[in-house]
Chains A and B, each alone.
Chain A
Amino acid sequence: MKKRSGRGVFVFLCAAPAVILFTVFMIIPTINVFRMSLFRRSAYSTTEEFVGWENFSRLMQDTNFIRSMQNTILLIVVVTIVTFALALVFAAILTREKIKGQNFFRVIFYIPNILSVVVISAIFSAIYDTNNGTLNSLLSLLKGETVAILWKGESMVMVSLIIAMVWQAIGYYMVMYMASMSSIPMSLYESASLDGAGRITQFFQITIPLIWTNIRTTLTFFIISTINMAFLFVKAMTSGGPNGASEVALSYMYKQAYTNSTYGYGMAIGVVVFLFSFGLSALVNVVTKRKTLEF
C-alpha cells in the first residue's frame, strides 16, 4: 500500500516541471497569439482594447502583407521543388551507385545544416556583394568583363534568397531520403535490370514508389520549415529590403509585432500564416495520398 501512494507522488514530481514549463512558455503564448489578434495593444500602455475582426480586415487591404504572402508562396514552391529534386537525385546516386568517397560526400553535404543561419547569411552576403563579392568576380572572370550584378537588389533578391535556402536544405533532406532508400532490398533492382529496366526507369518505378511515405512526410516538413527558414534568412540577410522586396510572412509579422509594437496586428498576421501553413500541409497530404507499397 505504501508503494502505491509513493507512486503517485513520484509520477507527479517527474511530470510537473515539464508540464509547467510547457504550459507557461508554449501553451499560454500560443493561446495569446489567437487572443491578441482580436485586440489592439500598443507599446506604451498595458490596456488591451477589443476590436473584433478589425485587425484581419485591415490585413486583407494591406498591400505589404499581400506582397509578403506572395513571396512566401513563391519560396515554398520554388525552394521545395528544387531542394526536393536535388536531394532525391543525390540520395539516389549516393545509395545506388558504387562511389568512391561516398561517406565523404555525405558528410560534406550535411555541413550547411549545422551552421547558424546567421553564418550562412553572412557567407552569402560576402558572395553576393556587388563590388567585392566572390560571385560577381567569378562571373567577371568567365565573361572577361566587369560584372556588377546587384544580387541583393530589388529584382534579384528573391533569387538570391532561394539559392541560399536551397544550399542550406539539400543535405538535410538528402540524408533523410538516403535512410529510407538504403532499406530497399538490392534484389528488386537486380531483377529490374535483368528485365532491362535502366537507371531512370528504376528510379521512378522502384525507388520513388517505395519511399513514398517518407516523401509525403518531408513535403509537409518542406512547407512548415520553408515558412520558418524564410523568416530566419530574411531577418539575417536582407531585413526584408530593399523596399520590402524580400519581405516574407513571418518577417512582416515580427516587424509589425516587435519593431512597430502593433502587437494585435502582428498576431493577426501570425494567425493567418499559421492557418495557411496547416491548410496547405493538409491539402498536400490529401493530394499525395497513395496506396502504401511494401517490399
Chain B
Amino acid sequence: MEHKKGMSADRLYKAFIYVVLITLAITIIVPVAWVFMASIKENSEFYGNPWSLPAGFYFQNFIDAWNKARMGEYMLNSVLVTGLGLLILLVVALPAAYVLSRFNFRGRKFLNTAFMGGLFINVNYIVVPIFLMLVDGDRWLRNVFGEGFLLNNIFVLAVVYAATALPFTIYLLSGYFATLPHDYEEAAYIDGAGYGTTMVKVIFPMARPSIITVILFNFLSFWNEYIIAMTLLSDPKGGKTLPVGLMQLTQAQQAATQYGQLYAGLVLVMLPTLILYVCVQKKLTQGMTLGGLKG
C-alpha cells in the first residue's frame, strides 16, 4: 500500500516537472515562431486576431524590407563589420595571447593584469568617450586634410569592436595556450623554425578548438551589437548595421505601421544566429562554461 502511494506521488512529481519544462519551452518557442509567421503576413492581417495563421505566403514583405527599408544594404554592412571585426580581432589577439602566456619578458605581468582589468570595462560606459575621441579626430583631420573619415565609417566600427573584444578573447586564448607543454616549441626550434613560423604553423593549429569558440562568441556579440554601431554611425542617411536599422524601423513602425517589413527584418537578423546556433549549440554551451566569463 505504502509502496503504491510512493509510486503515484513520484509519478505526479514527474508529470509536474514535465509541465513546468514544457511551459518554459513554449514561452520561448512561441514568440520566436510567431515572428516567423508574422513575417509572411500581409499588412491588413495585422489588424485582426494576432493568433490567426497567415492567409498565404506573402514574400513581398522580405522584398520590401530588403529594398524599401534598406535592410539589404544594412545586411551587407553587418556582414562586413562582423567579418572585418573578427579578422582584426584574430590577427591582433592570437599573437598577443601567445606571447603573453608563453614568453617571459619584462612587463608581461603588468600587461596580463591590464588585460584582465579590461574584462571589467563595459563598452556602455566608454562608448561616448570613444565617440568624442573620433569627433575630435575628425575635426583635426578636417583642419589638416580638409576631410574627416573616422565617424560613419564601417571600418572604424570594426576596429572598435575588435578592440573592445580583446580582453575577453586574450583571456580565453591565454588560458588555452598556457596548458600546452613547451616541448612543442623546442622541437620546432631544433628543426630550425623561427618564432613566427613556430607560432603560426605549430601552435595556432593546436589551438583550433579555442579559436572556434572565440569566433562563435564574438560573431554573436558583433552581429547583435547596436549601442556602439548606433553611436558611431550617426549620420541618419548613412550606412547602418542591421540591428540599428531594425531598431529605427520598430520606432518608426509605431507611426507608419509597416508590420510586415518589420517582422521580415527581424527574421533577417535572427536567422543567421539561429542557424549557427543549431549547428554548433553543443560547442557554444560548452565554450561558455569553459570561458566562464561573458556579459
Instruction: Enumerate chain A interface residues (CB-CB to B < 8 A).
Output: 6-8, 10-11, 13-15, 17-19, 21-22, 24-30, 32-33, 36, 41, 46, 90, 93-94, 97, 99, 104-112, 114-119, 121-127, 129, 132-134, 137-138, 167, 170-172, 175-176, 179-180, 199, 217, 221, 224-225, 228-229, 231-232, 235-236, 239, 250, 253-254, 257-258, 263, 266-267, 270, 273-274
Contact = CB atoms under 8 A, between A and B. Distances in A.
Given A25-B159, A105-B21, A137-B51, A116 B170 contact: no
Interface residues of B, number: 90
10 contacts: A18-B170, A19-B111, A32-B129, A33-B125, A114-B273, A119-B246, A122-B35, A134-B34, A224-B122, A258-B128
| Residue among B136, B167, B247 with max Cβ neighbours from chain A (10 Å) | B247
B58 interface: no
A235 to B, nearest CB: 7
What's the dominant secondary structure at chain B's contact region? helix
Interface of B: 13-14, 17-18, 20-21, 24-25, 27-29, 31-32, 34-35, 38, 46-47, 49-51, 91-93, 95-96, 98-100, 103, 105, 111, 114-115, 118, 120-122, 124-133, 136, 139, 159-160, 162-164, 166-167, 170, 194-196, 199, 220, 223-227, 231, 243-244, 246-247, 250-251, 262, 266, 269-270, 273-274, 276-277, 281, 284-285, 288-289, 292, 295
A231 B225 CA distance: 13
A259 B164 CA distance: 23
Contacts of B47: 132
| Residue among A21, A121, A225 with max Cβ neighbours from chain B (10 Å) | A21
Contact of B99 (A10, A99, A250): A10
Contact of A270 (B125, B133, B247): B125
Contact of A25 (B114, B163, B262, B270): B163
Given A26-B166, A93-B20, A116-B243, 6 more contacts: A21-B162, A25-B130, A29-B130, A99-B18, A105-B21, A180-B289
